[in-house]
Amino acid sequence: MDLSPEQWMIGILAAIIVGVSKTGIPGIGILVVPFMAAVFGGRLGTGATLPLLIFGDIFAVLWYRHHARWDKLGALIPWVLCGIAIGTALLWYTGVQGGTIDWLNIIIGVMVLIMLGLNLARLKFGDKIVPSSKLGLVSTGTMAGFSTTVSNAAGPIMSIYLTGMGLPKEQFMGTTAWYFFIFNLTKLPIYLFLSFVLPSKPMVNSSTILFDLAMLPVIVLAAFIGKWLLPRIPQNLFNTTVLVLAALAAIKLILDQIH
């Protein structure tokens, strides 16, 4: 791996955020997307993030596995798979395009800003934006599948959906834990296949694999920190900081490609 000290610092911070977000503070996970893109670029950053998320998912499932609401997940699954298919097609399309612009960086930046907008809308309007109709269910599942495939950024969508269901904290954590564990595993062969058929623009390479292996102990430590932090951090300050940092990182991803 040929990473600069700055890239290592950002990557380690991203791994810490993965562990903390999976076990105690889900909202912070949105920061991982632009941080990993800053280390590896949009395409490799997306691929490098996935094994970290899966490893964090294991802890979340172990701790909250008995609290999942499978009826809420089951209604979404067909539409999430549709979104994954659309996202896979986009990853293939951007992979065969020429030019010096990393369009996936721009797409990820825009997706993060959209997710942040949804978070802000949920804070302002609450249950008014919860998808309760059939169309809302279809759009929620499709958007979640698409965003998780393209940028690993489905967290805010799932938060809006499950919060609107009025789930207690444990059921919320258990349902999201199983959702992300199942669909992150589903994406793994897709990323590997795209890397095989598009070797000039892979989703995964030797550098990302070595980085992921190096970050596993960091995620273990961060997972325990997440459980410890949850009742101790002021929620309003935390929410504001996450939103501002994620917005700045997403804007930088876009500006770096259009300058």
pLDDT of residue 230: 65
SS (HEC) of 44-88:
HHHHHHHHHHHHHHHHHHHHHHHHCCHHHHHHHHHHHHHHHHHHH
How many angstroms from the chain centroid is the CA of residue 254? 18
Percentage helix, strand, coil for the chain under 3-state DSSP, each rounded to 5:
85, 0, 15
131, 139 Cβ separation under 8 angstroms: yes
Distance (Å, whole) CA 188 – CA 32: 18
How many Cβ atoms sit within 10 Å of the Cβ of residue 167?
19
pLDDT of residue 102: 65
pLDDT digit string (tens) for 19-55?
Answer: 988 877 766 777 888 899 889 988 899 999 999 999 9
Which regions of the chain are under pLDDT 50?
Answer: none
Task: Provide the whole-model pTM.
Answer: 0.81
Backbone angles phi, psi at 191, to 5 degrees: -65, -40
pLDDT of residue 129: 58
Distance (Å, whole) CA 88 – CA 190: 7
Distance (Å, whole) CA 121 – CA 108: 20
